[in-house]
Amino acid sequence: MRKYFAKLGLNSKVKTIISLNEKSAPTEKEGIEYLHKLHNYPFWIQCSKDGSIRKNGAGVGYSYDEDLDAFIPPSPYPSWVLNKTTYQWEAPTLNSELGNKWDEATTSWIKDPSDPKL
């Protein structure tokens, strides 16, 4: 069974994901110690591809929030708000049936003229 670890950089941003076998990482602590010795880098944390560990799967560019013990994807827009139940970003206004494209300037959903469904 493979175990995954995120290398954390500045502001706890995920820099890369590395997988280890069970022998190298029987526990999270031992996996971190192994990676620290192997790469001479101290900031690692266990993650998963499917979100079964730490609320979301980790990816390069995600952030690790220690207080929430969660990987947070990058915010798609500055106005969007983190839902602290799903740990996903949400628009500050609900999507209506009238629009399918987010307009940050008006913080609203608008019709995308290239979408044939509208």
- SS3 assignment, position 40: coil
pLDDT per position as a tens digit, 59-109: 999 999 999 999 999 999 999 999 999 999 999 988 766 678 899 999 988
Query: Structural domain of residue 114, as residue ranges?
Result: 75-118
Do 63 and 8 sit in the same domain of this protein?
A: yes
Among the listed residues 82, 19, 99, the one whose alpha carbon sits nearest the alpha carbon of residue 109: 99
Do 35 and 65 sit in the same domain of this protein?
A: yes
Do 15 and 65 sit in the same domain of this protein?
A: yes
Computed over every residue of the chain, the mean pLDDT equals: 92
C-alpha dist (Å) from residue 17 to 48, 59, 81, 82 = 9, 7, 26, 23
Please answer whether residues 58 and 17 qualify as being in contact, where contact means their C-beta atoms are separated by less than 8 angstroms.
yes
Query: Does residue 54 surpass a pLDDT of 80?
Result: yes
What pLDDT was estimated at residue 113?
A: 76
d(CA 20, CA 14): 17
User: Which pTM value belongs to this model?
Assistant: 0.85
Task: Taking residues 10-35, report their average pLDDT.
Answer: 96
